[in-house]
Every structure is written in C-alpha cells, then in structure tokens.
Chains A and B, each alone.
Chain A
Amino acid sequence: MQTKVNYIAEFVNNAEKVSAVVSKKRTMDEAVLYCIELCNQNNQKSIAVPNILLAKLFKTKHKVLSDDIYDERANIDIGFTLCDHGIANTGTLVLNSSNEKTRIATMLCDIHVAVVKESTVVQNAKALSETLKDGMNENSDYTAFITGASRTADIERTLAIGVHGPLELHIIVLEGS
C-alpha cells in the first residue's frame, strides 16, 4: 500500500512538471462537475464524451457530444475521457483509443480532461507491458501515451504549448478507486 501511494505522488509530480493541471476527486460525479465548471470558466460550448455511459452523467446546458463526435469534429471544445492507466515515472496517461471518437475527442479539442483511477497507476511503462501486449494482440488497437499538453520547441527552442493537440491537459485522479 505504501508503494502505491508513492506512485501516485510521483505520477502527480511528473505530470505537473509538464504543465498538466492535476486535481484529486472522490467520485466520477465530482470529476464531471469539475469538467462542467471548466467549460463555464472558459466560456466554452461543447464537451465531447466518447463513452456513452459517462456522457449520461453530464447534466448541463452545454452541448454534450458522444455518438455525434465525428460529425461535430470541427466543433469540439473539451474532450472528457476515462483513461486506462497512469505511469508514475513519466506522469503519463495511457488511453486506449481504438475507438475513433476517443481519438477525435482528445486530439481536436482545446482542453482534454482525463480521469485516471488511483488503482490503475503503475510505476513505469514496463509494468504495463503484458496489458499493452494483450491489446496489441487484438486485430486492431490504437493506444496513446499522453504526457502533458501538445507542445513544440521548434521556433528558437522556446517552449510553446498547444500546437496541434489540446492546449491544456487536466488530469483528475479518482481517489480510493
């Protein structure tokens, strides 16, 4: 148990180092509220939630996209996903994106809100090796490692966040899960 707690601290620390905004919540409902609040603060209109069950938790005036994510792909402000794992030593999220809507929701949005359960955070990528291989043994699989927001240093080596992917990455760690 002790080591697990350390992984979480290390995960949070490493994610924050690459400018992810990390917060801890106790339930998925709280995570959803956080996302809605974020949408309000930024005066944004639409939230893409590829997982239909999670989409149902959003009770809000904002436009919640799920089945229609592909058709609305040019109009996504926030993407909300539940990630499969966290990797502590790099502050990385692992998101199975075999479903194209998941890819679109997390790539074409301005803000990605990613939820990760505390129990799924591992120490390093190798610890996920067998799990990842299971996916790769499938007929098709698209798995993303996501660490911080989209970035570039291509002009004068100056860091700039938000080139092609999200401008912001918000990570919500679901405690006790």
Chain B
Amino acid sequence: MKKKDYKKELDSALSNNFLRSAMEKFAVAYRDSRTNVFSTMDVDGLIETIANSKDKSICKIEQMFESFKTSAEKKGIKVHLAKDAKAANQIILEIAKNGGVKSIVKSKSMTSEEIRLNHYLEDYGIEVIETDLGEWIIQLRNEGPSHMVMPAIHLSKEQVTELFSDVTGETLDPDIQTLVKVARKELRDKYLTADMGISGANFAIAETGTIGIVTNEGNARLVTTLPKIHVALVGLEKIVPDLDSALDILNILPKNATGQNITSYVTWITGSNECYAATDNRKEIHIVFLDNGRMEMSKNSDFAEVLRCIRCGACANVCPVYRMVGGHGLGHIYIGAIGLILTFFFHGTENAESLVQNCINCGACKDVCAAGIDLPGVIKKVQSKIIEDKGKTLSSSLLSKILLNRNFFHRLLKAARVAQKPLVGKEGFLRHLPLIVSKDHNFRALPKIADRSFRDMWEDIKYKLENPELKVSVFAGCLQDFVYPEHLISAIEILKSENVQVSFSEGQSCCGLPLEMMGDSNASKNLAKQNIDGFALENSHYILTLCGSCGSFLKKYSDKLTENPKNPDYKDKAKLFSEKIILLSDLLFNVLKLSENDFDEKAAKVLFHSSCHAGRGLKISNEPRELITKAGYKYVETTEENTCCGFGGTYSGKFPNISSNILEMKMNSYEGKGDILVTECPGCVLQLTGGFAKKDSTIEVKHLSEILCKGSLK
C-alpha cells in the first residue's frame, strides 16, 4: 500500500468513534486481567522456558517435521508439506475434490487467513463456513480479522445486529446474548451436514503425531468430530517435540492472550479417530503443514526468533498504536507487532513497506511477548532489509549524511537557532511552525533551540574537585545539548554537591537511535564508533545520560559492534563503553544513594511518566519514583505511567496524527491529579510540555534532574 493511502486509512480509523472507545476499553481491561492472571506466577521464567524450547525446535525444524510425519502416518493420518500458499490451497482443494466435498465447516485458523484459503475454495464452488463467532461475522462482512484472537473486536453490537438480521430475515434486537444464540442456531445445521471440517492447530507434537487445538466456543470440537474428513492446516513453527513442551505453551497462551487462566476447551487429537459419518467408521484426517518461507526464516539468524511466536496477540493488546487505530490499521492479515513482521515475510514488501514504519519503538510488546521475541528489534531489521532491498529513501540517507558529520550537524543546529528567531514566542516555544514541518505537527508547541548549547556553555560550567568520590563523563545527547541544556546543568549541580567530578568530551555526537529508527543500521554503527572514540573511557567510572532513549541505545553499542569481525578493535571498547552507561536516577539512587536527609519537604504533587526506553529498555523503574519521594514531593501514582507518550523520536514526524492521539490519552490520564509531571527523557519532555502548553494546562513538565535541584538540595 502506498504511504498516502495507508495514512488515509489510519486517519479514518482515528475518526471512528466506536473503534476508538472499544480499543481504549480493551487496552485498559487487558492490562488489568493480565496482571491478575499472572499475579502468583513467575512470568519471566515461563517466557524463558518457551523461548528456549522454541529455539531448540526452530533450529531442527525439518527433522521435527519428519518426526511428526512418521508418528502421525503410522496412525492413519496423511501428512502434507506445502511450500507456499498456493501449494497449500491446491492440496486442500484436491482433498475436498477426492472426498466429493460440497460444504466445509471451519474453526479459527490464522494460517488459513494467511493463505486466503476460503476465497480459493469458494472459487471452486465449495461452501466454506467459518464457525468461530467472530470469524463468521467478518466472513459475512467480507473483511479480514482486526485481532488474532478477537477478530471482530472492531465491530459494535449494532453492526452485528444488522448483519444477523439480514442472515435470518428477522428484525433482531441489539442484545449480545440473543445474537450469540442466533449464531448457535444458524451454525448447528452446518456442522451436522458438512462433508469436511478444517481447523488450525496450536501445537503439533512430534513424538506422538498429536495436534492440540485451543478454543473457547467449542466449535473446533464439532468441526473435528462430525464431518467425515478433517483437514488441519498448521504452520511449521507449531511443531513441538513433546507433550510437556505443548503444556508449557498452554500454560501461558490463554493467559497472555486474554487474561484467561485457560480456554474452555483444549482438544488433543491423535490418529484417525472414530467417525460414524466416514466409511469404516474411521475419519479421514490430513495435516497440511505450511512452509511459506518458514524453513528459510529458521536458518536466518536475524529472523529465526520470529518463529517462536505462539499467536497469542498480546503484542497488539499492549501496543499504543493499536490502541489508537485497531487491527486493520496495524496489520495486513496478521496483526500487531508480529503482524508488521509477518506481513513482510508472508505478504511481501508491497504490503509491508508502509505498515512496518508504524512502530513507535516503545517496547511494550517485547515486554509481554510470551516467547520473548525482541519484536521492536526485529521490526527495525525488517525496515533495514526493505531499505537495503530498495536503496535508501531520501530522508534516511540525508539524515545519515548530516548526523555522521558531527561538525556539520552542529553548525546546522546553530544556523537553525538564528533562523528560528522571528518565530520564537515569549515562553520559549516556536510561535509558528517553520514551513518545512507540515500542519499535522501543530498538535504540540515545539521548543526553540537554546540560545547557547550545552557544549558552548561547558567552559563556564566545568569544575575541578580535589578528591572526587566518583568520576563521571556526561553524554549530552542532541536534545539536551541543543534544546534543553538546563536538564544537564541541573544534574551537574547535584553531582557537584555530591563530590562527583563531571567531564564532557567534545568529540561526542548523536547516539544514533534516530538513524536506527529510520532503518539505517549501518549509519548508526558508524556513529557508535565516533562516540566510542570521542570518550576517554579510562578516566571515568560511568558515562552519564539523562535520556532513557540515548541510554538504552548506547547500551546496545556492544551488541551492535561485536557482531562485525571487521572491527576487532571496537569489540572490547564497545563492551566497556556500554557497561559504563548509566541513567541519572540509577546513579543517584543506586550508586550515590541520595536519602531523604538530602532534601526538604515540599508541597507539590508530582506525577510521573516512565520513559519507554528508561523503564522497559534500561529496566529503571523504581529509582526515579523513589527519588521523587525522597526529594520530599508527594508522588501521585496514575494509571498510564508506563504507557508511551507518543513521541517515539522520528515516529512523531512520520505519524503525527497517531502521535497526537496517544499524547491526548496520556494527558487526560494526568489532568487534575498533580502539579508537576516528571520524566527522565528529553524527548518525552518535548512531547508532553508541548501538549500541555497547547491545552493551557497548569501541569508543568520537568526532567527529573530539574526537580531534584532548584534549591531543593539542602
């Protein structure tokens, strides 16, 4: 889809009131029920078990298939391997033709959506009825699913009522219980008369040739019982070695999907079962495994982890972008973070190109993934691959040229400071947006570039301690260096009073995250090298950052630079560099151990926003909250503290309308609850300050360093 058309689709989702309220309720309810259902469990341990067991299976996927095939065929099941969508469709059509099949009942299978099986079979005159309620609804509407587990979550009961009134020829009331009974009645006959049942499978157990199907409605049981033929369409990644591995997945799948302890039904089918509708009372069972690029993926070290996915859909449930636009806006057939990735592999660059850009990189999905997939990381790799395949886009190559030339970049920022002068208003915001930025960006006030950058002020700030307790080198980061130098200055004041020697190296530049976000991984590696060269590592105990985003990316330098054998020199340096990176709150709370005694009691009520890359990226969660309390403020806890603010660096430039809607939701969660909103990332400060300024709110947004300083220190 063209970028322009895609943006139109997103705008239409953003203006769909029912969708917006349904998504909002779901996001909040899911978060609570997931927390409840895992309350007494070691979730991280479970996730690790699944990741390890899946990885073992993925690297011997062919062997696992052979072993499943042997076990299942011994028991009268025919096992097929389809290399792609077309082959799978043909195999299933052939089975249907041989069995004289006229009508098929189907239970839910995302894999069948992947290959568009229904359309294929219908083109050959076979009736295919989806029996999962949500799937039946979207089939009747000729739509695709908008969630992997709840495919019709985008529709209102009024829309379903209208649809079912057409089906039954009666005028129905918009009552959900009635509508469900309509489905029960209408579909019951279909089960009883169908010639073939098609299901998916959540597990294929190699040891015994068993498939396992997880459902709530009970339709898979009927689909696999009544008709004389059963075809299960299964992605190759669903093969597990044994029952115990399947039970481990079952332990987390429903909990992570919907916050349910377990689904109503789990059905385990082994061998050709008793079936009165079949000749000789034995059901004809076919299991069609779908490759469609999975084998190749399993051999690619960048993408093999994608095959760990157990299709729980949690990555969509927690995604702030999904919360704004729903699944049709954030997926092609597969939805959510995993959908962005799978679309590229299964449905091509054309369908993935615009879609894969729509990740705000907040890491919420990675945090809940049942199989521990680094979803944002893989999305970045897909973006890079698309860029490599097609040649760079203008904006990313221009950005990489600018950022890689530090002197030029800094001159450009200084020139921009002069150029912006006629536009700057009294409060230090830009009055009108420069023409280069479109009106879509007007949802928040933009800050001006500071009169003097931090690096220009450094000569005046620097100091020399006789016997410092600790030596810290500061990584300024673009935003704080050029827009918010006051954050850095406040931090240095605190550190100086704690007998910490702070130094600053001029040779440093941008951390490289903006380039990574544009999918330009090579350019960001070059920036990493520049920064490592720019620091005298041996002279400091820590490299301090006041930005969660810079911090989490600087921490990744070691991973980024160790993988390239061409740069043996950087391997050790990068490791040392990354190890020394520390976020301000981590330094103050865990290393310097600031206590209540260092501060006075204050009256202000402080709200908190956990920057995504500080909270989820660097796992710094308690530290800033504790510091707020220790500094004598009244910390007021709110519900969306850990939700992304909608900034996402370059994301807010690419998708301003989504960014502004996420910001609105965030601001609403704080309004009227406190005086100062504190965070530990200048990007979040920019987004939130700009948003509140536009609303004339009384809430002041501050970087953590600013509230810990300003004379608050005794």
Contacts and interface: CB of A to CB of B under 8 A. Distances in A.
Interface of A: 14, 17-18, 70, 73-74, 89-92, 98-100, 103-104, 107-108, 125-126, 129, 132-133, 135-158, 160, 162-166
Given A144-B265, A146-B264, A150-B218, A163 B133 contact: yes
A155 B176 contact: yes
A155 B217 contact: no
Nearest to B262: A90
B208 A160 contact: no
A88 to B, nearest CB: 12
Given A100-B276, A163-B180, A164-B131, A141 B225 contact: no
A154 B151 contact: yes
Q: Give the secondary structure class of B's interface.
A: mixed
Contacts of B153: 157
B180 A139 contact: no
A144 B176 contact: no
Given A104-B225, A165-B217, A132 B243 contact: yes
Nearest to B181: A162
Interface in B139-193: 150-153, 155-157, 160, 176-177, 179-181, 183-184, 187-188, 191-192
A143 to B, nearest CB: 4
The 4 closest A-B pairs by CB, nearest first: A165-B218, A140-B271, A154-B134, A145-B266
B150 A136 contact: no
B150 A154 contact: yes
Interface residues of B, number: 66
Contacts of B118: none
Given A156-B156, A158-B176, A138 B221 contact: no
Contacts of A103: 221, 225
Nearest to A160: B180
A98 B275 CA distance: 10
- Specify which of A126, A143, A156 lies most central, judged by the most chain B CB atoms within 10 Å of its CB: A156
B499 interface: no
B134 A164 contact: no
A103 B75 CA distance: 20
B133 A152 contact: yes
B698 interface: no
B150 A140 contact: no
Nearest to B75: A139
Interface of B: 22, 25-26, 29, 74-76, 131-134, 137, 150-153, 155-157, 160, 176-177, 179-181, 183-184, 187-188, 191-192, 205, 207-208, 210, 216-219, 221-222, 225-226, 242-244, 247, 250-251, 258, 261-276
16 contacts: A74-B192, A89-B261, A107-B222, A126-B244, A129-B243, A133-B242, A136-B207, A140-B273, A145-B265, A146-B264, A151-B217, A153-B150, A154-B150, A157-B25, A163-B183, A166-B218
Given A144-B265, A156-B157, A157-B22, 12 more contacts: A98-B273, A100-B274, A107-B222, A129-B243, A132-B268, A136-B268, A140-B272, A152-B180, A157-B26, A158-B157, A160-B177, A162-B184
B270 A156 contact: no
A70 B177 CA distance: 29
Given A70-B276, A136-B205, A151 B264 contact: yes
Contacts of A152: 133-134, 180, 216-217
B110 to A, nearest CB: 15
Contacts of B134: 152, 154-155
Contact of A154 (B133, B210, B218, B264): B133
A133 B131 CA distance: 30
A153 B264 contact: no
Q: Give the one of A14, A18, A147, A164 with max B CB within 10 A.
A: A164
Contacts of B276: 70, 100
A144 B273 contact: no
Contacts of A158: 157, 176
A165 B264 CA distance: 10
A103 B122 CA distance: 29
